[in-house]
Amino acid sequence: MSEMLRRLFLQSSTSGAAALMASHSVSAAANDKVVLGVIGTGGQGKNHVSSYRDLPNVEVAYVCDVDESRLAEANKIVPQAKAVSDLRRILDDKAVDAVSIATPDHWHTPAALLALAAGKHVYVEKPCSHNVREGRWLVEAAEKSGKIVQHGTQSRSSPFIQTAMQLLRDGVIGKVLVARAWDVQYRGAIGKSEPTTPPADFDYDTWLGPAPMMPFQSNRHHYNWHWWYPFGTGDAGNDGVHEIDIARWGLGVETHPSRVAAVGGKYVHDDDQQFPDTMTAVFEYPGDGHVGQQRQLTFEMRLWSKYYPHNIDNGNEFLGTEGRMLLTKRGKLEVFKERGEKVDVKLPDDRSVHIRPHQQNFVEAIRSGKPGNANALTGHLSSSLPHLANIACRVGRSFRFDPAGEQIIGDDDANQLLHRTYRTSHWGTPKVS
């Protein structure tokens, strides 16, 4: 890491940080070519690499991973890119305009904060944070830096999903009062394992990063990290956040909820994973408290079933005063009036939801300086919902939440789960006030 970047990240002075970031920034508007690095090259990370490679006038200059085999696989996709294991190599390169982060969840915000401090635009996979406090840090850092942050909820850039949202705004089912999201799929158990020595080609210490030191264990390694408190956010934050984001979008709420209730646990899988395989959560948005202003968002998750609501595995249902809408990223949208009569609606020919249009929108935002379709605040508000649902399941009770102060009211145990413990000695640990 360069001395300039190190000073920038460690300092607490807002004015000093702003001045350094201004001097460190590269204008992609002046130089139409966007140069970026992809950090994390697992399954989704390789999708990032392939997608950016095929965008016009975009150069993937770096690929980065702590697993040598995964790094080599990504490098085959873009042989001209530099393959590095330390993300700071990318941040030190002033020619790099942006980074795309597809690491495990516990690295999402720390890597994004480092990148913003280095003057880079950021595309960060969902959820944008490991916990509520990190999401707020990301929002504040994005505002201070003036850089583009795009959250990886790619439905925001799908014409098909955008059409559904416009129909709701136009009142196709009246006033939308309840949004239902669900994540129903079969995920197998991860078994029970004991600590072992990490593979020789895997830099486990860097993979841990700012998370507390703990021994390597094979079933919290690739992908299975999703199911462990220090690294993941469960499937609510993994697949569920996509549907939750669509539900919040359709409901038209641009704040946190004020009441959270959730029940769930491990109903099927007798293994080491810590997050629930079954969950039902309810979020209430009171608005101004008057009749007609309240909104409710519900989320259901079952990771042991293929019995899908309305024959839709992961999807949404919106209930309004004059009807309902069924919606899924699989290309299905149906509207019904109050008595169940189906309504014909005009839909775009392309009903797909892919990562490339969302990354194209990110690149266009860098060039234009206009916000992307899923900025840091959008990501924070949607990512916080699985965080809050997970907290309610862990403490075993509902709670009231202060949307402005981002604090759980009257529950110290639950409040402690709004943030996490870091390794104080690690360079990736966020240095924020």
CA nearest to 388, candidates 401, 375, 405, 374: 401
Share of the chain above pLDDT 70, in %: 93
Residue 230 predicted with pLDDT over 90: yes
Residue pLDDT, tens place only, 250-309: 999 999 999 999 999 999 999 999 999 999 999 999 998 889 899 999 999 999 999 999
d(CA 107, CA 99): 13
Residue 424: inside a domain, yes or no? Answer: no
Q: Is residue 429 part of a domain?
A: no
**CA R_g for the chain:** 21
Question: Using an 8 Å Cβ cutoff, are 102 and 108 in contact?
Answer: no
382-419 pLDDT, tens per residue? 999 999 999 999 999 999 999 999 999 999 999 999 99
**Are 19 and 99 found together in one domain?**
yes
The whole-number pLDDT of residue 433 equals 66
**What is the DSSP annotation of 191-223?**
------PPPTTB-HHHHHTTSPP----GGGSTT
Q: What is the CATH number of the domain that holds 282?
A: 3.30.360.10
Residues 83 and 104 in one domain: yes
Place of tokens 């000695």: 425
Q: Are residues 367 and 274 in the same domain?
A: no
pTM across the whole model: 0.92
Two tokens at 166?
């416009």
Distance CA(290)–CA(28), nearest Å, equals: 47
pLDDT band at 187 (very low <50, low <70, confident <90, very high): very high
Looking at residues 424-429, what average pLDDT do you find?
A: 94
Q: Is residue 198 in some structural domain?
A: no
- Indicate whether 218 and 76 sit together in one domain: no
CA dihedral sign, ordered 93, 96, 101, 103: negative
CA atoms of 40 and 73, how far apart (whole Å): 12
Q: What sign does the CA torsion over 198, 202, 208, 213 have?
A: positive
pLDDT at 174: 97
- Tell me, yes or no, whether 297 and 408 share the same domain: yes
Is residue 20's pLDDT more than 80? no
CB atoms within 10 A of CB 263: 16
- Expressed as residue numbers, the domain containing 224 is 159-192+204-353+384-418
For the chain, how many structural domains are there in total? 2
Mark whether 301 and 413 lie in a shared domain: yes
CA distances from 358 to 81, 109, 155, 261 (A): 22, 19, 8, 32
The residues near 23 (Cβ < 8 Å, ≥ 6 apart) are: none
335 pLDDT above the threshold of 90? yes
> Which amino acid is it at 135?
G
Q: Residue 16: its pLDDT value, please?
A: 35
User: Cis link prior to 127 (omega < 30° from 0)?
Assistant: yes
The CA-to-CA distance between both ends of the chain, in Å, stands at 22
CATH number at residue 151: 3.40.50.720
Residues 135 and 51 in one domain: yes
Q: What angle separates helix 376-395 from helix 240-251, to the nearest 10 degrees? A: 110
Position 379 in a domain: no
222 with 299, same domain?
Answer: yes
b/e code 32-51 from CB counts within 10 Å (16+ = b)? eebbbbbbbbbeebbbbbbb
In a domain, 197, yes or no: no
Residues 282, 361: one domain?
Answer: no
Question: Regarding beta strands 176-184 and 295-302, do their DSSP bridges make them parallel or antiparallel, or are they unpaired?
Answer: parallel
What would the pLDDT profile of 164-184 be if each residue is shown by its tens digit?
Answer: 999 999 999 999 999 999 999
Is the domain of 274 the same as that of 138? no
Residues 138 and 262 in one domain: no
Domain shared by 234 and 369, yes or no: no
